[in-house]
Structure 1
Amino acid sequence: MASNQLSPQLLGKINIKKQSVTFESSGLSLSGDLYIPDGIGDGKYPAIVVSHPASGVKEQTAGLYARNLAEHGFITLAFDATYNGESAGEPRGLEDPGQRIEDIKAAVSFISLHDNVDSEKIGLLGICASGGYAIPATASDHRIKAVATVSGISIGEFFRVGYDGKQPSSVLNMMLDNAGKARTDEARNEATKTFPIFPADEAAARALGQYVYEGWEYYCTPRGYHPRSAKQMPWISVDKMVTFDGFRFIHLIAPRPVLTIVGTKAATKWMAEEAFPRAGEPKELFWIEGASHVDLYDKEQFVIPAVAKLSDFYRDSLGV
């Protein structure tokens, strides 16, 4: 059972209607959850698209943030990316940056057409790997009027040099060798080759360090486990990700505002610190004291200030 149900501390006073929706991205059906504040009437309101981490699904941290932002009066949409969760696409668990960006734009198109959404007031939130997808999506789609990231990373950088920037080059070479072999095997009509995303058990996770352990704990224990969240990734994902740079075009977003939320103890914070100076104004790098990368997924003491900051950011940026 997933443990990401909201506690009373995270719930506001606004009742929320949750609606299951579907829409298309590159001809494939995507599944989403639309969160609508109760009693909003017939007017037009700002909306926020929320995109989940790699291997995640809409019921995990993306849904948590979407629901909380709806509690602050926004119409929000959390969705499963192509190849993930309840959305279509084969092979399952494939991570394709180009498709992920297209999915975000498809979500923006879908929510723009909602009867209660002001299509001139749409924001975007990317969490973890989706932070690195949200930036190029916003840079190239002027319908997105404000973008924020939480524990944002570039998945390409992550695979090239590791979560801490210290990964030996031999690791990447091994992964690319395996990706090439997997493509040849598929050409022979053999089954898709995959690798495990997480260690097999707690002992193995702890042996690989705090960052790996926290990811394992969130995705593989009742804390954040969801049966549709991918635990394996096709090897062919690697050569799709390795040349991707999620923050390269961050400067193209200005004069639309950028908010980057990072935990002071996040092992991945160096990516945000390197990317942020390249963004144009207005921009803000907001630190959550004491939070690690994964802490910002669901821990109340860190999610509460993050959501409060996000709410203020979107209100100011979208002219609410």
Structure 2
Amino acid sequence: MVGSPCSCDSSCENISCAFHVNEATAISATPYKIASLQNFVSHDFDAGELGPAGFSVASVHRIGIFDLRILNLDRHAGNILVKKKGQHENYAAGAAELVPIDHGLCLPECLDDPYFEWLHWPQALIPFSESETEYILNLNPNKDAELLRMELPMLRESSIRVMILCTIFLKQAAIAGLCLADIGAMMTREFRGDEEKPSKLETLCTKAKANLRLTLESSIDNEIEDIFNEVAADLPKLFHRPLNSAKPSKTLKLSSVRSMPGLHGNSSCGDSTSFSVQKNDQESGDMYLGDMSEAEWGVFLESFEKLLPRAFEDSNRRKLGTSCNF
């Protein structure tokens, strides 16, 4: 009976005794909800109530680097709390501590348009310090991905891939000498009149996916050519054998081309996974990274990284009026 005391001693590990029920199945029948537990942060204002003049460069960079990695879609001023540092009575430069909160719209399942409140703050135009650059270059997106998979198993692989992609983008941008504002601008979509243009990051991913599709198609063509070359080399031997002893097995290898294990799953030669991915991207308007196999994902990242140096070089050339190189 529910609520009846257990007659076992304190070392009993029976789950029904521990919860004072006769059947463990009663526990699983209890309705539940998934929720989050948040720690309240005591603060004086949010960033929307103050101008950014009192914020230190380091505090803005710290939040900015974090937002870039997780592709935060909602870093508005109300999600940055401001606390007085020490015994300061005002918010002179460096006297305010910034605390980022509310990360419900981070790590999206596809590339989307982020919102960075700090994007046009003067601190974002200051180059990264040596310690910040060292921190960025030491980031290991694959190691962080394993941590996310272990600690947050409900997080989808597509979201983890967004983090990996954005971290690679951040690392290479820092190497190229771009500042926080430059990087954030390349990840943010442009509005020209009433038309929304894809971000530079999305454009690079579109090119990388196109290169992936060409790579896969080339792999299929090469394997088909190799198979036909093998068959052609065996034709003279076939003519010198009795018909019933000829080996037809060579031509059967063509069926393996249609599967391409590790690259295409079970798709046919004329319908690669990459092609269906591109159709999904066009229909949704966002770049989705979760429908590539592990092998395709590796080829995609390799192509993506090759495109970055030229993109960063073009970004540096297009700077007008404002430069991060003081």
Instruction: Identify the TM-score tier after normalising by the shorter chain.
Output: under 0.3
Q: TM-score, normalised by structure 2?
A: 0.26
| TM value normalised by structure 1 | 0.27
Structure holding more helix per residue: 2
The higher-RCO structure (CA 8 Å, 6+ apart) is 1
Greater share of residues in strand: 1
Which is greater in Rg?
2
